[in-house]
Structures are given as C-alpha cells and as structure tokens.
Amino acid sequence: MKMWDDPDWSRRITPRLHVGMVDEELPLGKEGGRKSWYIALTQHPDLLKKYGPVKGLPENGTTLLLFEDDVVALVGYLRELDESGLLDELAEPDYKPSAHRRSLDALAPAEHHDAP
C-alpha cells in the first residue's frame, strides 16, 4: 500500500494531525480497474498516551484521541474533498460499497496485523 504524494490528498491539517489517502500499490501492468482506498490518520504526539487512559474505550483495536481542533480540521478536509469534486474522482457512478470494497482478509497478514 502507498500514501498519495499530493498535497490535495495527503497533508498535515493541524500541528498534531496528518491525513493521507492510501491505496493499493499494484505491480506494473496490474493497475487497471478500481482499487480500494483508505484514509490514514497520523497523530504526534499521541494524545491518548499523553492524557489517557480513557475509561470505557473498547479493549481491542487502536483508538486515536482527537482534540476538538483536530476534529474540526478533519471535517474541513473531508468537506474540501467533497466540494472540490476530488471524492467524485474516486467513486464510480454505480458504486455499491458491498460490491466493490476489498475485504481486509484479501490483504496479506503483514498488511493488516492490527486490523480487527
């Protein structure tokens, strides 16, 4: 998998939070067709480690604790993608999530060792 190297898609949106669009890195000649895509959020410092623990969180999985400024910036980023039409570039006219979404089980174990 790879993060898109384009500031329209992947960039720091607050001093703590970086957002990036990620997709499958397919071998040369296998690029055709629709690829699944993801959003990667990277936070530094990790606010959950800094301020946690937080009572009531799920015992399994990875939790990202977002400060209100980070949430507002993330919503703004997603709104910008929507209003600019960039998200439309990713969706097919007849897109049905269950029909096109690639199962995480299809990824090699090393690619999703933290996935539920």
**pLDDT tens across 55-100, in order?**
999 989 999 999 999 999 999 999 988 888 877 777 666 656 555 4
Name the domain count of the chain. Answer: 1
Give the domain extent around 14: 2-27+35-111
Task: Give the Cα separation of 114 and 61 in Å (integer).
Answer: 7
Q: Does the residue 15 lie in any domain?
A: yes
Q: Does the residue 116 lie in any domain?
A: no
pTM above 0.75, yes or no: no
Nearest residue to 65 via CA among 45, 42, 44, 47: 47
Model pLDDT for residues 21-60, shown as the tens digit of each residue: 998 877 766 666 667 788 999 999 999 999 989 999 998 9
Q: Does the residue 6 lie in any domain?
A: yes
